[in-house]
Amino acid sequence: MVFALPSRLRLTPLACACLLAGLTACNDNQTSQTYVAPTAPTGLGYAASADSNPTAAPYIDNGASNQRGKACMATLETNAGVRVVAGFLDIWEPRTRLVDAGVTAPADGSCPAVTSSDWSGLPDSATDGTVKNPSVHAYNIHYVEQLTANRTPAQELAAYLDDRRGKNYSVSDGMGPLTDAWRAGSKQTTTITDIPADATSVKYDDKGNNRGLGSDSNADMGLAVDFINALSVDGSTEPAKRFFKYARPWRWSSAVKVVPALEPAKSSTPNTDGGFISGHSAEGVRDSLAMAYLVPERYQEMLARGLELGENRILAGMHSPLDVIGGRMQALAVVAYNLHRSEVSSLKQSAYTQTHHWLNQQLGLSDDNALWQVAHSGSQDRFADHDQIKADYLRRLTFGFTPIAATDKPAVVPKGAEILLETRLPYLSNEQRRVVLQSTALPSGYPLMDDAEGWGRLNLFAAADGYGRFDGDVDLLMDAAEGGFHASDRWRNDIGGAGKLTKRGSGSLLLCGHNSWTGGTDLQEGTLQASSNSALGAGDLYQRGGTLQVNSALQIGGHYTQQAGAILHSVLGNDGAGRLTIKGDAVLAGELQVTLQAGYQPTVGDTLQLLRCGALHGAFSKVTLAGYTVTPLYSANGVQLRIDGRPS
């Protein structure tokens, strides 16, 4: 039913009209006074920015220096792949600070020749390096002892598969309901599906093709395979291994139990078999992030799968936590470096388009708008529990290390790192993505992770859930016509800060964190959904237009102003869902649309509380509840809805 506002509204208990700003309102004694409605929140008046460290050599400009066997790229200062994990030097001092384990290189101009190190690869030998932080080092090895002593048969199988199988094939199961379509389009194959009864096979015996077939022989998703291959260019972990010369955990401790079927995979040449950094971990993160870029509908799930592979290296007994963390850090830098290369810049859009065309075709979808739903529809998806994979991801970022330095150091964002969120947050500007990375970064102080550029502190999983703080005003423009995340997205972080959120454009944003930002919210266009009690922070809400959809028992910390033409959509349910509690005043002029959550069924004659506030001014121009005739009841401090009946 549509409720038309009469020419003179009777407010109960007020016997007068309470109108909008600049008009006359009445008190209980019906004496006139001028009511000045709240104005739009002003916020801080500026947008936040996220600086890079001006003294750090950017990885995206120097990634090609990650080489071994070249005299001019053999030092910490000249090799980007070594430099990005230089924090390991606080834990361990290698025999020599050169990329020289089993490596020689002729002199090159002013760069002296590199002679192969005499490092034996065996701990406690006369040629070994020096432990500089005994407590961190002891924890690093003890962690592997504990995990390998207590792993389950399922974990042993997973560790074996992630060791022997092609890494990209392994992590592609992170696609969940899209896995079969992905593997069909990329033409991926593997020959390893279980632990062999007779563990005598050679180390890398997967006769499959790992990433699949490229565009020269694959018209379905060959460009996607080309793209993934391109993101590993200059991504070797060997320069770092040959520089740091840190033994694998099973060489440090006999209590480390390597998966029995992987015993044949142990290298017999320890002087060329360093543990730091983990090559498997780095490749798993590179490939997972490449696939997440192409299919951002599975962005967090793919990130989670990449870090899972890293933990499986520890469960296998092949690597330590610091090995895995170092591999993750280098991989992020390598992917960003490659995404900025001109060859990849011209490939990424065509690979993205081809991938979505193939997936939509295989799944019978008309466009990308439905892909997210299908991507999260699988009952057997082991990455379906967002809270669980978030907790696992956070645990795998630090593996329980305690900080060894100050934890309140401001985060810096590496030059060009914002490109890692390019498809996941496509409606944000590059600078806004940088601020997201900064506002979701890990605390400082963890071993290894305080690198000069900031790669170690990036938390891409959290960044994919939007801002962590509004330390400046955020102007958000989402155009639904562009589809995908432009049309609809959700931010799940708990957002703090003193800035203001302005929502523009036709797209829809769902907020479901426990938010506390104080600068207010200015809803101008599109839809803003509130799905937690504090979804809109602690400031004013000013609705010029668009739709505010309330799915929760929403609390507004300041005033609420609804202008003519704006829509308040209350989704009523149990436990206060769909109701508003406003600490300040409410100024109403637009439309109220009420719908009911599944299973919530009011009875004719019920009076439902919709809104409570400090003082009420104005009224809705139109009120509807599908399937019912209703009457809105206004009081000095709120609005109720009386269920009169059902249309005849």
> pLDDT at position 18, please?
35
Kindly state the average pLDDT of the residues 403-428. 98
Strand ranges (E), 7-98: 24-26, 32-34, 92-93
Q: Are 393 and 307 in contact (CB under 8 A)?
A: yes
> pLDDT at position 6, please?
34
300-356, pLDDT tens digit by residue? 999 999 999 999 999 999 999 999 999 999 999 999 999 999 999 999 999 999 999
CB atoms within 10 A of CB 51: 13
419-437, pLDDT tens digit by residue? 999 999 999 999 999 999 9
pLDDT at 527 over 60: yes
Encoded tokens for 269: 């040449």
φ, ψ at 76 (rounded to 5°): -60, -40
SS3 letters for 139-202?
A: HHHHHHHHHHHHCCHHHHHHHHHHHHCCHHHHHHHHHHHHHHHHHHHHCCCCCCCCCCCCCCCC
Q: Is the four-CA dihedral 297, 300, 301, 307 of positive or negative sign?
A: positive
In the chain, the percentage of residues whose pLDDT exceeds 90 is 90
Mean pLDDT, the chain, whole residue set: 93
CA distances to 77, 78, 93, 102, 111 from 107, rounded to whole Å, are: 17, 15, 25, 17, 6
> pLDDT at position 200, please?
67
Q: Are 471 and 492 in contact (CB under 8 A)?
A: no
Kindly state the average pLDDT of the residues 213-239. 98
> pLDDT at position 34, please?
77
Give the confidence band of 33 by pLDDT, cuts at 50, 70, 90.
Answer: low
Give the confidence band of 196 by pLDDT, cuts at 50, 70, 90.
Answer: confident
387-402, pLDDT tens digit by residue? 999 999 999 999 999 9
Q: Which of 102-116, 356-370, 555-569 has the least mean pLDDT?
A: 356-370
280: which residues sit within 8 A by CB, 6+ positions away?
A: 162, 163, 167, 309, 310, 313, 318, 319, 327
- DSSP run (H or E) holding 282: helix 279-294
pLDDT at 36 over 90: no
pLDDT at 9 over 90: no
Distance CA 39, CA 149 (A): 63
pLDDT at 443 over 50: yes
371: which residues sit within 8 A by CB, 6+ positions away?
A: 297, 356, 359, 360, 363, 365, 484
Number of alpha carbons in the 13 Å side-chain half-sphere of residue 596? 12
Kindly state the average pLDDT of the residues 462-489. 97
> pLDDT at position 369, please?
84
Query: Can you tell me whether residue 224 is helix, strand or coil?
Result: helix
Q: Are 431 and 416 in contact (CB under 8 A)?
A: no
Give the pairing type, strands 488-491 and 130-131.
unpaired
Kindly state the average pLDDT of the residues 502-521. 98
Largest CA distance in the chain: 97
Helices marked H in 541-587:
none
361: which residues sit within 8 A by CB, 6+ positions away?
A: none
Beta bridge partners of 641: 608, 632
Distance CA 93, CA 134 (A): 12
Number of alpha carbons in the 13 Å side-chain half-sphere of residue 552? 17
Residues in the chain: 648
Encoded tokens for 584: 């300040």
pTM for this prediction? 0.94
If one compares 202 and 226, the residue with the highest pLDDT of the two is: 226
Q: Are 446 and 499 in contact (CB under 8 A)?
A: no
If one compares 11 and 456, the residue with the highest pLDDT of the two is: 456
Tell which residue, 420, 418, 432, has the closest CA to residue 467.
432
Helix/strand/coil percent split, the chain, to 5: 35, 15, 50
CATH number of 59-457: 1.20.144.10
CB atoms within 10 A of CB 291: 31
Tell which residue, 522, 518, 530, has the closest CA to residue 554.
530
pLDDT at 482 over 50: yes
Encoded tokens for 358: 């193939």
Give the confidence band of 441 by pLDDT, cuts at 50, 70, 90.
Answer: very high
> pLDDT at position 380, please?
86
pLDDT at 403 over 70: yes
Number of alpha carbons in the 13 Å side-chain half-sphere of residue 569? 16
Query: Can you tell me whether residue 483 is helix, strand or coil?
Result: coil
Secondary structure (DSSP) of 20-38: STTSEEE-TT--EEE--PP
Give the confidence band of 21 by pLDDT, cuts at 50, 70, 90.
Answer: very low
CB atoms within 10 A of CB 141: 21
Kindly state the average pLDDT of the residues 475-497. 97
Tell which residue, 82, 57, 88, has the closest CA to residue 68.
82
φ, ψ at 554 (rounded to 5°): -75, 135
Beta bridge partners of 609: 640
- DSSP run (H or E) holding 318: none
Give the confidence band of 11 by pLDDT, cuts at 50, 70, 90.
Answer: very low
248-300, pLDDT tens digit by residue? 999 999 999 999 999 999 999 999 999 999 999 999 999 999 999 999 999 99
Give the confidence band of 22 by pLDDT, cuts at 50, 70, 90.
Answer: very low
496-510, pLDDT tens digit by residue? 999 999 999 999 999
Q: Identify the burial level of 179 via C-beta atoms within 10 angstroms of its C-beta, where 0-12 means exposed, 13-18 middle and 19 or more buried.
A: middle
Give the pairing type, strands 547-550 and 527-530.
parallel
> pLDDT at position 30, please?
36
Q: Which of 35-44, 62-71, 346-355, 587-596 has the least mean pLDDT?
A: 35-44
Tell which residue, 592, 583, 574, 584, has the closest CA to residue 639.
592
Distance CA 179, CA 362 (A): 11
